[in-house]
Chain A
Amino acid sequence: MEQRETLLEVSGLKVTFRAHGGEISAVRDVNFSLKKGETLAIVGESGCGKSVTAKSIMRLVPEHIGKIAGGSILFKGKDLAKLPEKEMQGIRGSEISMIFQDAMTSLNPTITIGEQIMEGIIRHQKVPRSEAKRQAIEILQLVGIANPESRLKQYLHQFSGGMRQRIMIAIALVCNPSILIADEPTTALDVTIQAQIIDLFKSIQQKTGVSIIIITHDLGVVAKIADRVNVMYAGKVVESGPVSDIFYNPQHPYTKGLLASMPRLDADRNIPLSPIPGTPPDLFSPPLGCAFAERCNHALEVCRNYQPEETKVHNAHAVSCWLQDPRAKKLLASTQAPTGT
C-alpha cells in the first residue's frame, strides 16, 4: 500500500469567498495526498469545506465569488492552483473528473444522454463521432446500463434515479481519468440504490485503477468504500488516517462525536441518538484556537487560544488536537486517574 505512487498532493490549501460584510474562510490550510488506486473519503458536516476542497481541485469554485487564497495542489508535476484556465480545461474531465450529488439536476434535460457522454470524448480525445459513440456504448455497459445503443438517444427524464447516477459516473469515467471526485454521490438515492452505486464504484476501481475522492457525511458509505479518511471541521482536516483507525481508534473528540451520533441497527431503540451539541463556528471570523473547542467536552484553556498542531498517532493516522499534546495527556491523567476504571 505504502509503495504506491502519490498522484495528488494538496498542501496549505486556503479558499475564501467574498460575501456581504467580509470574507468567509471556507477552507483553512488543508493538507492531504492521494495515492494511485486509493479511495479517500472526506467526511464532515454541512459547511465544513469538504465540497469546496473538492471543487478547488477541479478549480470549479466560481471565480467571481471565491478564490484559492493560498497553498498548492500538485498533480503530475503541475500546480493546479496556479494553472491557467485554458490548461485546466484540458485536465477537467480527462485527467480529473467529478460527479455531483443529484444527477437529476446535474445533467442537462434537453440534450440526449449520448451527446452528453460523447461531447467529453470528442473534446479531449479529438476522435470522430463514430468512435466517440463506440466508447460511449462501452462505458454505459461498464456502469451497468442495458441496451446502451438505444439508451444513448434518450433524455434524462426517461431514466430512473439510480440510472441517472450511473450515467453521471459514465460521463466522469469515459476519458479514463486518474482521479474521480464524487461529491455526495449517494445522498440523493434510496438505500438499495446507494449500495448498488457503491458496489459500482468498487468494481470500476478494480477494473480501471482510478483513484477516488469521495465526499460524504454518511459514515456507512465511508466504511464500505474508503481506504483512508479525512475528517474535516470548519475548513480544516482535524483527523486523518486509514479507515480502520478512524473507526476503531478515533482520537479527535469531533470524530468520536460523529461516530457516536451514527444510528446503529443493533442499538437499543429506546436510547436516543447522541448528537454533537452546538453549531460550527462562523467562518467570517474563524476562532483563534481549535474551531471545535466550543462544542468539545474535553476543551482545555489552550484549545480556545491556540491552534493545535498535527500530531501523529500512528504511521498514517494523524490528528490535530491539544489532547494529543504530552502535557495535556499528563494533565488528563492526573485529573482522571483517581476516578478512572
Chain B
Amino acid sequence: MLSFVIRRFISMIVTLWLIITLTFFLMHAVPGSPFEKDGKGLNEAVAANLNAYYNLDKPLIVQYGLYLKQLVQFDLGPSIANSSDTVNKMIARGFPVSFQLGIVSVLFAIVTGIALGVVAALRHNRLIDYIAMIIAVVGISIPSFVVASLLIKYLAVEWKLLPTATWGTWQHVIMPALALAFGPIAIIARLTRTNMLEVLTQEYIETARAKGLSPATIVIKHALRNAVLPVVTLLGALIANVLTGSFVIEKIFAIPGMGKYFVAGINNRDYSVIMGTTVFYSALLIFMMFVVDVLYGIIDPRIKFHGKESKG
C-alpha cells in the first residue's frame, strides 16, 4: 500500500508538471498580452515598464523557469489585471464557496442518482423504471444553465420559495446545487441501473436469497456494493465536471466562487490567474483520481495495490 501511494504520488507530480507546461506554452502561444485589449495597446513605454515588472520581456523559457520556481514555493503570483490581488488570495476567497456548492451538489447527485438507479433496476421494465430513465435522458440532454433558469423562474420568482441569487444562507445553496446536480444525477442513475441489472442476475444474489436474507439486505449489502464500482470510477471525473460546470452556474447565480476568477482571468489574458486556477483545478482533479483508486481497493478487494500491478 505504501509503495502504491509513493508511486502514485510521483506520477501525480509528473502529470501536474505536464499540465503546467502545456498550459503555460499554449497560453503564451495565444496572440496578445494582458496589456492589450481589443487591439488597443497601451502607451508603448508604459507597456514596456509593465512587461519588465512582470518579467514578460524575458525569453519564454526563462519566464517558464521563473514560474516553476515560484510555484514550488506554493506562490501562484500576483494578478496582472488586478494588481492589488494575488492568485493565492483569490483561491483562498473563492474556493471555499465553490467547494461548498460542489460538495452539496455532488452528494445530492450521488444519493439521488444511486437511489433512482437502484429503484429503476428493481422495478425493471415497469412504470418507475420508465419514469426514472426519462428523467435521466432529460437530465443528460438539458444543459445546467437551462435548468438553472427554470429553477429561478419557478422556485424563486413565481413561488418565492428561495432567494433568486447570490450567496450567504443555506437557502442560497439549494438552487445552484440542484442545477449542478441534475446532469450528474442522470449519468449516475443510468450507470447504477445498468450495473444493478447485471449484478442482480449474478449467482451470488441467488445464494444470498437461498440464505434467507431479506430483499433489502440482498440489495444493499450484496448487489449495490458490486454495482457501484463503475460509479466510483466516474466520480473523479464527475467532481471535476461539477467544479468546471460551476463556472456557468456561479455566473448565473452571482456566486463569488472560483469560477468567476477563472472566467475573468481568461477574458483579461491574466496569465497568472489562468495558470493559478488551472494548476489548482488540475491538482484537485489528480487528487480526486487518487482517492477514487484507493476507494476502488476498499470496495473490491480483488484490486490490489501491489507495486507492479497498479497502473501507476
Give me the interface of A with B, judged by CB distance under 8 Å: 58, 60, 88-94, 97-98, 100, 102, 105-112, 119-120, 123-124, 155, 157, 168, 171-172
Selected from B207, B221, B226, B301, the residue in CB contact (under 8 A) with A100 is B207
Give every chain A residue within 8 A of B299 (Cβ-Cβ): 110
Give Cα distance in the complex from A168 to B299, angstroms: 22
Give Cα distance in the complex from A110 to B213, angstroms: 17
* Interface assignment of B202: CB less than 8 Å from any CB of chain A: yes
Give Cα distance in the complex from A120 to B226, angstroms: 20
Give me the interface of B with A, judged by CB distance under 8 Å: 202-204, 206-214, 217, 221-222, 225-226, 299-302
Pick the most buried of A119, A171, A172: most chain B CB atoms within 10 A of its CB: A119
| Pairs A-B, 3 closest by C-beta atoms | A92-B212, A93-B212, A93-B211
Question: Would you call A108 and B206 a contact (CB within 8 A)?
Answer: no
Pick the most buried of A58, A92, A108, A171: most chain B CB atoms within 10 A of its CB: A108
Question: Would you call A171 and B211 a contact (CB within 8 A)?
Answer: yes
Pairs A–B under 8 Å by Cβ, sample size 28: A60-B206, A60-B209, A89-B212, A89-B213, A90-B212, A92-B209, A92-B212, A97-B210, A105-B202, A105-B203, A105-B204, A107-B204, A108-B207, A108-B208, A108-B226, A109-B300, A109-B301, A110-B302, A111-B221, A111-B222, A119-B221, A120-B211, A120-B212, A123-B212, A155-B301, A155-B302, A157-B301, A168-B207
Question: Would you call B206 and A124 a contact (CB within 8 A)?
Answer: no
Give every chain B residue within 8 A of A60 (Cβ-Cβ): 206, 209-210
Give every chain B residue within 8 A of A108 (Cβ-Cβ): 204, 207-208, 222, 226
Question: Would you call A58 and B225 a contact (CB within 8 A)?
Answer: no
Question: Would you call B302 and A98 a contact (CB within 8 A)?
Answer: no
Give every chain A residue within 8 A of B213 (Cβ-Cβ): 89, 93, 119-120, 123
Chain A proximity of B240: nearest CB distance (Å): 26
Question: Would you call A109 and B302 a contact (CB within 8 A)?
Answer: yes
Question: Would you call B210 and A92 a contact (CB within 8 A)?
Answer: yes
Chain B proximity of A166: nearest CB distance (Å): 15
Give Cα distance in the complex from A132 to B217, angstroms: 18
Pick the most buried of A97, A106, A107: most chain B CB atoms within 10 A of its CB: A106
Give Cα distance in the complex from A334 to B202, angstroms: 56
Give every chain B residue within 8 A of A105 (Cβ-Cβ): 202-204
Give every chain A residue within 8 A of B301 (Cβ-Cβ): 109-110, 112, 155, 157
In the complex, given contacts A89-B214, A108-B208, what are 13 additional A-B residue pairs having Cβ atoms less than 8 angstroms apart?
A89-B213, A92-B212, A98-B210, A105-B203, A107-B207, A108-B207, A109-B204, A110-B300, A112-B301, A119-B211, A120-B211, A123-B214, A172-B210
Closest to A171 in B: B211
Give every chain A residue within 8 A of B217 (Cβ-Cβ): 119, 123
Closest to A97 in B: B210
Give Cα distance in the complex from A172 to B203, angstroms: 15
Selected from A89, A91, A157, A168, the residue in CB contact (under 8 A) with B302 is A157
Question: Would you call A110 and B209 a contact (CB within 8 A)?
Answer: no
Question: Would you call B226 and A110 a contact (CB within 8 A)?
Answer: yes
Give every chain B residue within 8 A of A106 (Cβ-Cβ): 203-204, 206-207
Pick the most buried of A60, A100, A110, A168: most chain B CB atoms within 10 A of its CB: A110
Question: Would you call A109 and B211 a contact (CB within 8 A)?
Answer: no
Q: A91-B212, A124-B212 are in contact. Are A109 and B207 (CB under 8 A)?
A: no
Give every chain A residue within 8 A of B204 (Cβ-Cβ): 105-109
Give Cα distance in the complex from A111 to B207, angstroms: 13
Give Cα distance in the complex from A105 to B205, angstroms: 10
Give Cα distance in the complex from A91 to B212, angstroms: 7
Give Cα distance in the complex from A108 to B211, angstroms: 13
Question: Would you call B302 and A171 a contact (CB within 8 A)?
Answer: no
Chain B proximity of A68: nearest CB distance (Å): 16
Chain A proximity of B216: nearest CB distance (Å): 11
Give Cα distance in the complex from A119 to B209, angstroms: 12
Give every chain B residue within 8 A of A89 (Cβ-Cβ): 212-214
Q: A105-B202, A108-B204, A110-B225 are in contact. Are A123 and B302 (CB under 8 A)?
A: no
Give Cα distance in the complex from A136 to B302, angstroms: 23
Closest to A64 in B: B124
Give Cα distance in the complex from A111 to B213, angstroms: 15
Give every chain A residue within 8 A of B214 (Cβ-Cβ): 89, 123
Chain B proximity of A118: nearest CB distance (Å): 11
Question: Would you call B212 and A94 a contact (CB within 8 A)?
Answer: yes
Give Cα distance in the complex from A155 to B21, angstroms: 44
Closest to B213 in A: A123
Closest to B124 in A: A64
Give Cα distance in the complex from A119 to B212, angstroms: 10
Chain B proximity of A170: nearest CB distance (Å): 12
Give Cα distance in the complex from A97 to B208, angstroms: 11
Pick the most buried of B202, B203, B212, B222: most chain A CB atoms within 10 A of its CB: B212
Chain B proximity of A87: nearest CB distance (Å): 10
Question: Would you call B211 and A92 a contact (CB within 8 A)?
Answer: yes
Closest to B199 in A: A108
Give every chain B residue within 8 A of A120 (Cβ-Cβ): 211-213
Give every chain B residue within 8 A of A94 (Cβ-Cβ): 212
Chain A proximity of B25: nearest CB distance (Å): 45
Question: Would you call B209 and A100 a contact (CB within 8 A)?
Answer: no
Give Cα distance in the complex from A120 to B213, angstroms: 7
Question: Would you call A123 and B222 a contact (CB within 8 A)?
Answer: no
Chain A proximity of B134: nearest CB distance (Å): 22
Give Cα distance in the complex from A172 to B206, angstroms: 13
Chain A proximity of B172: nearest CB distance (Å): 40
Give every chain A residue within 8 A of B226 (Cβ-Cβ): 108-110
